[in-house]
A = this chain, B = another copy of it.
């Protein structure tokens, strides 16, 4: 086994996903030689702990990537578009959590349990894209079925936690709750409306067809990850007053018949997915169950009786972990394995 270690940078280290990346590198004992934390100027000087040692945050600039083997980006699309090509040019492999490169034909979009083979294209641009958080959780439930039969159509409605909108969004939900309890004025800065004790059917901006970008990401990214431009996915994405973990209500139709028993078996044996489906005991996935978990949980599995080959389920996953930081680190692990195998 190679004892090789890697210089890793995290761009956007002080964000909700960035902090999660640090702790996941530590938890998974990733072979880090040196860890560089990068953020915007206003975070410079901050320290974040890694393996018990404080690491100073440096400013993200064009010169940040000298000697960096792998850079995990989670600093927003604009920063990715500005700095990822510079890093990639200098030989760093960028694993990008933003939407900037996901649909780029020369950038693989990877969920290691689903399409690990796509890693072989990593050096077309030296950029690998991490999927949208809701796509990542949803597709963990689609793939086990897809391995049995093609899926023709999916209807998905999401219940998305505020932390998907960053650390400030968590503070906004807390502050609004406290304001309502104390009959004070509510401020909405991160979200377009009050999120406390409310739900908002609007995530990312609207597109011309009436769907939001978030909703179209589910359609487009699912097609790319499954490498299937026939699958149709209609999504409605909704923000709910939950701190952490997304849930998705899914109705799907398959080309061939898939029995509920087959589906259950396929879900149970799929890596990164666990079945929690005991209605008699009121056991099913919820945000409070999956917060902080690596695995996605799937439940409410049932035959959709309204269509010939239909299955309905409910899936929940920690969108900061499987939906973002964990998947990015898993991609980095896949990359290392791929490079090691190819050098061997």
B-binding residues in A (CB < 8 A): 153-155, 157, 159, 173-174, 177-178, 181, 192-194, 197-202, 206, 209-211, 219, 232-234, 236, 238, 240-243, 247, 249, 251, 260, 279-280, 282, 284-288, 299-307, 310, 312, 314
Chain B residues with Cβ below 8 Å from A314 are 201, 236
Chain B residues with Cβ below 8 Å from A200 are 286
Q: Which of B193, B206, B280, B303 contacts A288 (CB 8 A)?
A: B193
CB pairs A–B below 8 angstroms (5 shown): A159-B238, A178-B181, A197-B241, A202-B282, A209-B305
New contact pairs (4) apart from A197-B243, A233-B306, CB-CB < 8 Å:
A154-B306, A173-B197, A210-B312, A234-B310
Find the B residue at minimum CB distance from A305: B209
Q: Shortest Cβ distance from A21 into chain B, in angstroms?
A: 24
Contact in complex: A306, B153 (CB < 8 Å): yes
Chain B residues with Cβ below 8 Å from A301 are 210
Number of copies: 2
Contact in complex: A155, B251 (CB < 8 Å): yes
Q: Shortest Cβ distance from A311 into chain B, in angstroms?
A: 10
Contact in complex: A198, B305 (CB < 8 Å): no
Chain B residues with Cβ below 8 Å from A300 are 201, 210, 236
Select the residue from A202, A299, A306 with max chain B CB neighbours within 10 A: A306
User: In the docked arrangement, what's the CA distance between A178 and B201, Å?
Assistant: 26
User: In the docked arrangement, what's the CA distance between A169 and B301, Å?
Assistant: 27
Contact in complex: B197, A286 (CB < 8 Å): no
A198 with B249, Cβ < 8 A, contacts A303-B209, A303-B210 known: no
Q: Which of B194, B206, B236, B303 contacts A279 (CB 8 A)?
A: B206
Find the B residue at minimum CB distance from A216: B305
Q: Shortest Cβ distance from A283 into chain B, in angstroms?
A: 9
Find the B residue at minimum CB distance from A178: B181
Contact in complex: A279, B249 (CB < 8 Å): no
Q: Which of B201, B202, B232, B299 contacts A247 (CB 8 A)?
A: B201
Contact in complex: B232, A307 (CB < 8 Å): yes
Q: Shortest Cβ distance from A200 into chain B, in angstroms?
A: 6
Chain B residues with Cβ below 8 Å from A280 are 206
Chain B residues with Cβ below 8 Å from A233 are 306
Q: Shortest Cβ distance from A103 into chain B, in angstroms?
A: 17
Chain B residues with Cβ below 8 Å from A201 are 247, 249, 284-286, 299-300, 314
Select the residue from A238, A247, A249 with max chain B CB neighbours within 10 A: A249
Find the B residue at minimum CB distance from A304: B234
User: In the docked arrangement, what's the CA distance between A303 and B284, Å?
Assistant: 32
Q: Shortest Cβ distance from A273 into chain B, in angstroms?
A: 17
A288 with B194, Cβ < 8 A, contacts A232-B306, A236-B312, A300-B201 known: yes
Q: Shortest Cβ distance from A290 into chain B, in angstroms?
A: 11
User: In the docked arrangement, what's the CA distance between A193 and B290, Å?
Assistant: 14
Interface pairs A-B: 7 shortest CB-CB:
A210-B302, A232-B306, A157-B157, A206-B279, A157-B249, A192-B282, A234-B306
